[in-house]
């Protein structure tokens, strides 16, 4: 009997009809039945007369299946065994826990240290390999990227391949295409020129999507969530002018093809609010298709440019945030969490780098500060890197190598986060404007004028402040083990065990944190 690990993919491949347009004209569907679940999923056409169906089991034990559809006259039945999840990085899906936090299905805490390489899957093979190698040695456990190619400043080269087949097969002169792309690049928020690529939006390019399969699987095996961006505004190929029928077909195809990867998240769009051809009705319809077709309930959101989407919509599982203000953003994390009652993920909050635009030239120090602020307030954060490059290879879009200084500090942060007792860190209360992440039992009321620490475990993050010392008014009858954490130099220095009024000496530079752990003497 075939075996597959829990939360891995059980895939079956069939030869079937290839006349007409199999993407549209034939269907394939399978029902998978185990002792604990019975799931019906759509399969998909993968070109050359090949149909595939994928299933991710959530329980161990023997499953039976039954595959049928118009793709073939036969009905296929069989069974397989689901074995325990023992592979490295197999913790199941990331889910919302306790309403406003995230965690893996097996109970492992999940702190989302994201990064962004919008168009990495459309780059050359060698660059993609380099990106994967970089990711392997990075702190990142989530990556955002686009299913469609990207046209934008620093993104003027044509992609290595396309998401659709050319309708007529007639070629364009790529030299001319790139020349025009360079000449006509315009600022974001303005509709870029559309060139006539004559795509057939009813024929996904399966070679392209097969590549993405490999990417998503490699990410999965490295323990990296794939935050798939289905649509975005940076288009010159007419992909935002697809009609409703073609768009819905695309959403269904994505769901059938990639839904069985445990590490997939659905991001309906990047900067949805500057895609002029879509309305809220469209987003809600795409969301409804995903809710219906993604039987695994992967995380779903939609990412803003200048206006948050209404994250209170039931289908939105978490807030995928881009700062609305240049100065106040991650410091608002706890307000957003309490407003939407959902996890807050700062997927874009400026990038470390030195390009000319304000969203892409903050320092590594500031990038790291924004991560700490986000996490200490109970949220999550995303990274990106935009350093000027002679060949216009910028991590934020193309992947490649990391040139900046934040990534090791984000690893350090992740290591600290993993020491949190319990399932997650949440927002506490501090006296002097600092962000305080807390965990464990609450042992005191949260009056900041007298009662801190209020929890068994607290991290007071001091951000851009640089005090030479800090006072804590601990209970006289309760001891705390105190560590001084230098979030930039990546050190944890024990500061002893204390009760009562306590003065903690600090080095007087920025980006420090103080950790208090209740101990029993």
Least Å from the CB of residue 45 to a second copy: 44
Stretch that binds a second copy, among 91-99, 112-120, 358-366, 417-425 (CB under 8 A): 358-366
Closest CA to 409 of 481, 512, 320, 515: 512
Instruction: Decide: is 393 part of the binding site for a second copy (CB under 8 A).
Output: no
Stretch that binds a second copy, among 231-239, 240-248, 393-401, 469-477 (CB under 8 A): 469-477
Distance CA 92, CA 297 (A): 12
Residue owning tokens 């093979």: 125
Rounded to 5°, the CA angle 72-294-76 comes to 25
Instruction: Decide: is 361 part of the binding site for a second copy (CB under 8 A).
Output: yes
Q: Of the candidates 19, 281, 325, 476, which one interacts with a second copy according to CB under 8 A?
A: 325
Cβ neighbours of residue 2 under 8 Å, at least 6 residues apart?
10, 78, 80, 81
Half-sphere exposure of 23 toward its Cβ, with a 13 Å CA cutoff? Answer: 22
Rounded to 5°, the CA angle 453-456-461 comes to 55
Instruction: Decide: is 354 part of the binding site for a second copy (CB under 8 A).
Output: yes
Give the bridge partners for 517, in sequence order.
Answer: 457, 481
Distance CA 69, CA 52 (A): 12
Q: Which is nearer to a second copy, 413 or 504 (CB)?
A: 504
What is the sign of the dihedral through the CA atoms of 207, 138, 316 and 260? positive
Least Å from the CB of residue 409 to a second copy: 17
Instruction: Decide: is 327 part of the binding site for a second copy (CB under 8 A).
Output: yes
Least Å from the CB of residue 414 to a second copy: 24
Q: Which is nearer to a second copy, 161 or 432 (CB)?
A: 432
Q: Of the candidates 269, 302, 337, 362, which one interacts with a second copy according to CB under 8 A?
A: 362
Q: Which is nearer to a second copy, 252 or 370 (CB)?
A: 370
Tokens of 437: 């992440």
Q: Which is nearer to a second copy, 83 or 510 (CB)?
A: 510
Stretch that binds a second copy, among 355-363, 408-416, 420-428, 476-484 (CB under 8 A): 355-363
Cβ neighbours of residue 190 under 8 Å, at least 6 residues apart?
none
Instruction: Decide: is 433 part of the binding site for a second copy (CB under 8 A).
Output: yes
Q: Which is nearer to a second copy, 176 or 357 (CB)?
A: 357
Rounded to 5°, the CA angle 24-269-126 comes to 85
Binding site for a second copy (CB under 8 A): 187, 189-190, 325-328, 331, 354-359, 361-363, 366, 388, 432-434, 449, 464-471, 508, 510
């Amino acid at each position: 009997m075939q075996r597959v690990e829990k939360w891995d993919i059980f895939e079956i491949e069939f030869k079937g009809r290839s006349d007409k347009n199999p993407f549209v004209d034939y269907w394939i569907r399978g029902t998978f039945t185990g002792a604990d679940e019975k799931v019906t999923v759509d399969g998909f056409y993968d070109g050359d007369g090949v149909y595939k169906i994928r299933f991710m089991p959530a329980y161990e034990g023997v499953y039976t299946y039954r595959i049928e559809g118009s793709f073939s006259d036969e009905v296929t039945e069989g069974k397989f065994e689901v074995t325990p999840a023992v592979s490295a990085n197999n913790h199941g899906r990331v889910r919302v826990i306790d309403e406003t936090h995230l965690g893996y299905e097996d109970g492992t805490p999940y702190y989302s240290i994201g990064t962004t390489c919008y168009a990495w899957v459309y780059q050359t093979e060698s660059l993609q390999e380099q990106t994967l190698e970089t990711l392997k040695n990075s702190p990142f456990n989530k990556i955002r990227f686009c299913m469609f190619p990207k046209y934008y400043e620093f993104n003027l080269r044509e992609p290595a391949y396309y998401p659709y087949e050319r309708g007529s097969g007639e070629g364009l002169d790529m030299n001319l295409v790139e020349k025009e792309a360079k000449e006509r690049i315009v600022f974001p928020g303005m509709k870029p020129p559309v060139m006539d690529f004559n795509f057939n939006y009813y024929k996904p390019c399966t070679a392209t999507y097969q590549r993405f399969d490999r990417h998503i699987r490699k990410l999965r095996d490295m323990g990296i969530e794939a935050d798939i961006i289905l649509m975005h505004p940076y288009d010159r190929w007419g992909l935002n002018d697809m009609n409703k029928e073609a768009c819905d077909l695309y959403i269904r195809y994505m769901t059938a093809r990639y839904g069985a990867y445990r590490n997939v998240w659905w991001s309906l769009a990047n900067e949805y609010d500057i895609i002029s051809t879509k309305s809220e009705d469209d987003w809600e319809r795409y969301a409804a298709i995903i809710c219906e077709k993604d039987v695994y309930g992967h995380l779903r959101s939609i990412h803003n440019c200048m206006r948050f989407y209404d994250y209170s919509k039931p289908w939105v599982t978490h807030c995928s945030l881009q700062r609305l203000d240049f100065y106040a953003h991650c410091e608002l994390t706890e307000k957003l969490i309490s407003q939407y009652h959902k996890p807050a993920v700062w997927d874009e909050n400026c990038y470390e780098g030195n390009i000319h635009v304000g969203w892409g030239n903050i320092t590594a120090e500031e990038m790291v500060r924004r991560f700490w602020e986000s996490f200490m307030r109970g949220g999550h954060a995303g990274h990106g890197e935009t350093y000027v490059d002679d060949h216009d290879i910028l991590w934020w879009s193309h992947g490649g190598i990391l040139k900046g200084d934040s990534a090791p500090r984000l690893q350090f942060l992740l290591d600290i986060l993993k020491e949190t007792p319990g399932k997650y860190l949440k927002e506490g209360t501090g006296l002097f404007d600092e962000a305080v992440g807390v965990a464990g039992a609450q042992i005191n009321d949260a009056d900041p004028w007298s009662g801190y620490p209020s929890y068994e475990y607290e991290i007071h993050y001091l951000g851009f402040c640089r005090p030479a010392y800090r006072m804590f008014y601990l209970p006289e009858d309760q001891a705390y083990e105190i560590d001084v954490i230098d979030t930039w130099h990546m050190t944890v220095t024990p500061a002893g065990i204390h009760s009562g009024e306590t003065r903690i000496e600090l080095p007087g530079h920025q980006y420090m944190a103080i950790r208090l752990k209740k101990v029993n003497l």
